[in-house]
Amino acid sequence: MAQAWHEVAVAVMKANEIRLVPYVPDNVLKPLINAIHADPFFTAFTTAREEEAVGIVAGAAMAGTRGMVLMQTSGFATLANVLASLPVAYQIPVLMMVSERGTLGEFNLGQAAVWRTMRPTLESLAMPWQVITRLDECEFIMDRTIRQALLTQQPAALILSPLLTGGKASPVKAGG
């Protein structure tokens, strides 16, 4: 059987020596978070805010340890200032994996509204980002995006589409 997206993510992170994984949790990321905690290769922990996790990964990157911040769309929406002023301005390869909420069947209007800010923010920061929608493209996109970020000293975001992860479906039917 083919690997699940989170198994691919773990394998790609290990192959690229991404060891430090601070995160603010998200339901869709749960299998990835569980796998990372279960594997002694990784140092994984929660932070109070996503900004803090960006700072930690930036500091570690400058001291020789690679890391990736896990978050959901709403977490990304808190980051424009620190991304612009830290990894973008200083050219530090801060890697991010964002579970995409707010689209393809979102049930929370607030999440849907936040979702609309993500692409314009990524575009205006002029930082590299990729949306992953298909399992057969998952390894290639993750691996190449990470490698490009490390080789070019740029931050990068990997967006996990509900098309890849299944997302978070509504617990109730519309009107129900």
Partner 1 sequence: MSVTSAHNAKPLYRFDCTRRLVARLRNDEAVIGGIGHSNFDLWAAGHRPQNFYMLGSMGLAVPLALGVALAQPRRKVFALEGDGSLLMQLGCLATVASLAPKNLAILILDNGSYQITGGQRTPASGGADYVAIARACGLANASWAADEADFERLVETCLATDGPHVIGLKLDDQPPAGQTERDPVQIRDRFMRGMGAKRSALPG
Which chain residues interact with partner 1 by CB under 8 A?
20, 22, 43, 45-49, 51-65, 67, 81-82, 84-86, 89-92
Q: Backbone dihedral region of 19: left (phi > 0), alpha (psi from -120 to 50 degrees) or beta?
A: alpha
Minimum CB distance to partner 1 smaller for 17 or for 137 = 17
Q: What's the closest the beta carbon of residue 96 comes to partner 1, in angstroms?
A: 15
SS (H, E, C) the chain: CCCCHHHHHHHHHHHCCEEEEEECCCCCCHHHHHHHHHCCCCEEEECCCHHHHHHHHHHHHHCCCEEEEEEEHHHHCCCHHHHHHHHHHHCCCCEEEEECCCCCCCCCHHHHHHHHHHHHHHHHHCCCEEEECCHHHHHHHHHHHHHHHHHHCCCEEEEECHHHHCCCCCCCCCCC
Minimum CB distance to partner 1 smaller for 47 or for 130 = 47
Minimum CB distance to partner 1 smaller for 9 or for 60 = 60
Q: What's the closest the beta carbon of residue 85 comes to partner 1, in angstroms?
A: 3
Q: What's the closest the beta carbon of residue 167 comes to partner 1, in angstroms?
A: 28
Q: What's the closest the beta carbon of residue 50 comes to partner 1, in angstroms?
A: 11
Minimum CB distance to partner 1 smaller for 72 or for 165 = 72
Q: What's the closest the beta carbon of residue 82 comes to partner 1, in angstroms?
A: 4
